[in-house]
Structure formats: C-alpha cells, structure tokens
C-alpha cells in the first residue's frame, strides 16, 4: 500500500484513510504487509506511526524511482514539490513488485474543515487475486523498479509478497 502525506499530517487522518480504503476491498488492516512512500516523507510521524501501529515496514523510494512509474493520476503539485508526479500510486506499484497493478487508485483523506493531508493507493503483485480490478480513480500497471529502504533501518527491502496489500 502506498501512502503520501503533507508535513505533520495527523496519524489519525492517515489511519482513517488506510482503513477506509482497505474496506473498499473488504480487507482489514491485518491485510497490509507494508506501507511505501517517497524517501523524504518516511520520517513523517503520521506515516511512520501508522506503519508502527499496523506492525508493518515503511518502505521508502527515491523520487527518481517513483517518477519512472506510469500512473493514472499524476499530480503537478507532487511533481513540483517532491520531484515525482506520484507518491502513493507509484510507491504502491514499486512495493508490490514487477508487473504489479493498481487495485485501488489514489484516494485522498477527507478531514473535516481543512484540505486533505494524506493519500493512499493499493497495488497487487502480478498474478495475485484481485489484480486488475478497478479502483475509484482507475488502474495502471507497474513497471520500473527502484531501490527501497525500510524506514528507520536504512537497509534495502521490498514488501513481503505473502498475499497482503
């Protein structure tokens, strides 16, 4: 599952978005095997906190690796600020591995009284059940791979491919 967030996005906002997005597929948070984001956001308390709460690694990718991934909902804002037109969708696709497909396209949080502060997307590994289903904002296939690091460890890693999201 790919996630993105504004500076100081509240953990509760990210968690609600993640939970609601999983519910679209009939999944609970237990289905998540890893969260993934852009490297400069890996230390954001809201993103890192949700990964800790779910008990999964937070993988991080360089903006250049994310920018190489074709996505259905590129963002001019993300491109200008992060150096990649996609964080959540591209990170989800990279974390799910070669040939992955978006199952749920980019979704934005819906906090009361202020603009959205978080995004997420779900991708499935090639050949996984549910791959190719249509998300709220479309589907796409993954392509480029890039180096991932697990937040807090600095080691390379990839999302576990044990059937989760």
Closest CA to 98 of 34, 143, 130: 143
What is the dihedral sign for C-alpha 64, 47, 90, 165?
positive
**Residue pair 10/43 in contact by the 8 Å Cβ criterion:** no
Q: What pLDDT is recorded for position 145? A: 37
Q: What pLDDT is recorded for position 162? A: 35
Q: What pLDDT is recorded for position 126? A: 86
Q: What pLDDT is recorded for position 76? A: 95
Q: Spell out the domain ranges in the chain.
A: 2-95+107-150
pLDDT along the chain (165 residues), means of 10: 96 98 96 97 97 98 98 94 96 97 96 95 81 35 37 36 47
| Helices and strands in the chain, H and E counts | 5, 6
- H helices of 30-138, in order, are 45-54, 63-67, 76-82, 88-96
**Residue pair 94/145 in contact by the 8 Å Cβ criterion:** yes
For residue 145, report the phi and psi dihedrals to the nearest 5 degrees: -105, 150
**Residue pair 1/32 in contact by the 8 Å Cβ criterion:** yes
Name the CATH topology of 2-95+107-150: Nucleotidyltransferase; domain 5 (3.30.420)
Note the pLDDT tens digit of each residue in 126-146: 886 544 333 333 323 333 334
Q: What pLDDT is recorded for position 127? A: 80
DSSP, residue by residue, 33-52? --EEEEGGGTT-HHHHHHHH
């Amino acid at each position: 599952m790919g996630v993105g967030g504004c500076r100081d996005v509240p953990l509760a906002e990210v968690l609600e978005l993640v939970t609601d997005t999983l519910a679209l597929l009939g999944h609970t948070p237990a289905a998540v095997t890893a969260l993934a984001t852009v490297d400069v956001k890996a230390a954001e308390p809201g993103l890192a906190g949700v990964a800790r709460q779910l008990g999964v690694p937070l993988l991080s990718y360089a903006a250049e690796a994310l920018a190489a991934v074709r996505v259905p909902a590129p963002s001019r804002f993300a491109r200008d600020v992060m150096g990649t037109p996609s964080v959540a969708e591209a990170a989800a696709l990279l974390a799910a591995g070669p040939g992955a497909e978006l199952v749920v396209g980019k979704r934005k949080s819906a906090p009361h009284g202020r603009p959205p502060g978080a995004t997420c997307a779900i991708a499935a590994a090639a050949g996984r059940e549910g791959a190719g289903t249509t998300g709220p904002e479309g589907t796409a296939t993954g392509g480029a791979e890039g180096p991932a690091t697990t937040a807090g460890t600095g080691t390379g890693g990839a999302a576990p491919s044990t059937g989760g999201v």
